[in-house]
Amino acid sequence: MPARIYSVATVGLDGISVEVEVDVLSQGLHHFTLVGLPDASVKESRDRVSSAIKNSGFKPPHQNGRITANLAPADLPKQSPAFDLPLALGYLLATKQLDFDHKDKLFLGELALDGVVRRINGVLPAASFAAETGVTELYVPAENAREAALISGVTVYPVKHLFALVKHLSGQERIQAQEREEFNVSQETVYDLDMAEIRGQEHAKRALEIAAAGGHNTILVGPPGSGKTLLARALPSILPALSLSESLEVTKIFSVSGKLPTDTPLFRLRPFRTPHHSASAVSLVGGGTVPKPGEVSLAHRGVLFLDEFAEFPKAVLENLRQPLEDGFVTVSRVKGASRFPARFSLVAAMNPCPCGYAGDPERMCSCSPFQVLRYREKISGPILDRIDLQVSVPRLKVEKLEDSRQGESSADIRIRVERARSIQEQRFVGSAFRTNSEMGPEAIRLYCPLDDESKKLLRGAVENLRLSARSYHRILKVARTIADLSGEKDILRTHIAEALQYRFKSE
């Protein structure tokens, strides 16, 4: 009878059961065969496991006849070193060097050659999987134990060394279970930049308040040094605090990507991601043989800041369409496709022209009209159309910069944002939407009716600014958010008038 140990792999953000079977034939050539893993990983894992077993004081595979280990299901790509630990235990069971009841237990961990158990990625989704499938005991590397213990309903054991685990399982010396920490998410949200520190730029700050309230996307266009980066960096500070379930969603994505800091088992701040314009499509939207989340998913529930927006290759930006529309990305792999959440607030920033000074009242722009046109064309069309708030950020006068009066604090703005969000929550009860920005045409018809006066204003503007049908809907959604911010049930003419200020004229 082969020995059997249970483990878990992650596909996307979901856990999938993996069975590790180990069989020993006492006759035949000494051999250790491992199947069910990609080629390179097989060799590495086999070598690590063999050394760790020997160095933990057990009889190693090369003294034990013919050993076959299988990781099932075979067609699931498993590149993680997390199966080292279950493989070692399976071997020890199969060779009768250890005896314990393997049922209702899950094991995960990479082994160092000396038997020390090393930190791995994706422990949080594995812990969710354990709790959902009724596993009672979860054994993970000690460094991942706090992360695993975020999930209730399963006892987490921190494992430091293979030898210590064997002693625990054979009842000689128990490992202390990891204690769950209580997290109060709404407390201690300290951001590194406050809106109060940004002078002037009232128009842009208001746009960001609307963006935060309705989950809208924003583009900031202005000369170098006008404060675009500063404004974008302040956006997380006015977004509502993450709920516990949102924190877990974000933490799972970072866990799978191997980007979870050791001292932060739970993400409590909204992510702020700033991929460079040289980033590849895969690093932006995710992918790989064993698909990993990209920047759009790492920005989930937070902010994706694309600085120097016009420098991003068009083909790369095209990939943003799906996450912008749907709030998730589909990454195809050999068998089927993985889906990662990607519901973020996009903030794009760019200069108005290559030199940066087109339209500046004091500095001359050195670009030819053709250059300016070419530059703007780069972002025209489908992507710009999908950005709800289009904002000019002019250079500040020195007097304004020297003004010592503090602006409104992020905490105060956040109160208004949270109020507007709770109105939206009630509006969308029972639907898939959370914010106005997510509304489709049907919902827009239902929740954005206009009186005759507002209709007239909007119709006139659409003609004057030569706006597309998509722009028309975007304006209505933004107006809905502006109305929510002022606690108004109906969209009024003033709300439409303000919403129109956040739309560039089509060239």
Ligand X SMILES: Nc1ncnc2c1ncn2[C@@H]1O[C@H](COP(=O)(O)OP(=O)(O)O)[C@@H](O)[C@H]1O
Q: What is the binding site for ligand X (CB under 6 A)?
A: 198-201, 222, 224-230, 396, 401
**Strand partners of residue 18:** 7
Partner from ligand X, Mg ion, none binding residue 227, C-beta < 5-8 Å depending on class: ligand X
Q: Smallest distance, Å, CB 356 to ligand X?
A: 8
Partner from ligand X, Mg ion, none binding residue 230, C-beta < 5-8 Å depending on class: ligand X
Q: Smallest distance, Å, CB 404 to ligand X?
A: 11
Q: Smallest distance, Å, CB 85 to ligand X?
A: 47
Nearer to ligand X, 391 or 420 (CB): 391
Q: CA 312, CA 276: separation in Å to the nearest integer?
A: 8
Q: Smallest distance, Å, CB 235 to ligand X?
A: 12
- The alpha carbon dihedral of 490, 493, 499, 500 has a sign of positive
DSSP, collapsed to helix, strand or coil, labels residue 191 as: coil
Partner from Mg ion, ligand X, none binding residue 155, C-beta < 5-8 Å depending on class: none
Q: Smallest distance, Å, CB 198 to ligand X?
A: 4
**Whether the Cβ atoms of residue 253 and residue 13 lie closer than 8 Å to each other:** yes
Nearer to ligand X, 157 or 272 (CB): 272
**Whether the Cβ atoms of residue 89 and residue 107 lie closer than 8 Å to each other:** yes
Partner from ligand X, Mg ion, none binding residue 449, C-beta < 5-8 Å depending on class: none
DSSP, collapsed to helix, strand or coil, labels residue 221 as: strand
How far from 256 is each of 8, 147, 250, 345, 347, CA to CA, in Å? 13, 12, 10, 22, 25
**Whether the Cβ atoms of residue 259 and residue 298 lie closer than 8 Å to each other:** yes
Partner from ligand X, Mg ion, none binding residue 112, C-beta < 5-8 Å depending on class: none
**Assigned token pair, 94:** 């199969």
Q: Closest-CB residue for ligand X?
A: 227
Q: CA 84, CA 91: separation in Å to the nearest integer?
A: 11
Q: CA 228, CA 198: separation in Å to the nearest integer?
A: 10
Should residue 229 be labelled a site residue for Mg ion when binding is judged by CB under 5 A?
yes
Residue type, 462: V
Interface with Mg ion in residues 374-433 (CB under 5 A): none
Should residue 494 be labelled a site residue for Mg ion when binding is judged by CB under 5 A?
no
Q: Decide: residue 228, CB within 10 A, 0-12 exposed, 13-18 middle, 19+ buried.
A: buried
Nearer to ligand X, 73 or 225 (CB): 225
Partner from ligand X, Mg ion, none binding residue 225, C-beta < 5-8 Å depending on class: ligand X
Nearer to Mg ion, 79 or 229 (CB): 229
Nearer to ligand X, 121 or 226 (CB): 226
Should residue 283 be labelled a site residue for Mg ion when binding is judged by CB under 5 A?
no
Q: Which residues bind Mg ion (CB under 5 A)?
A: 229
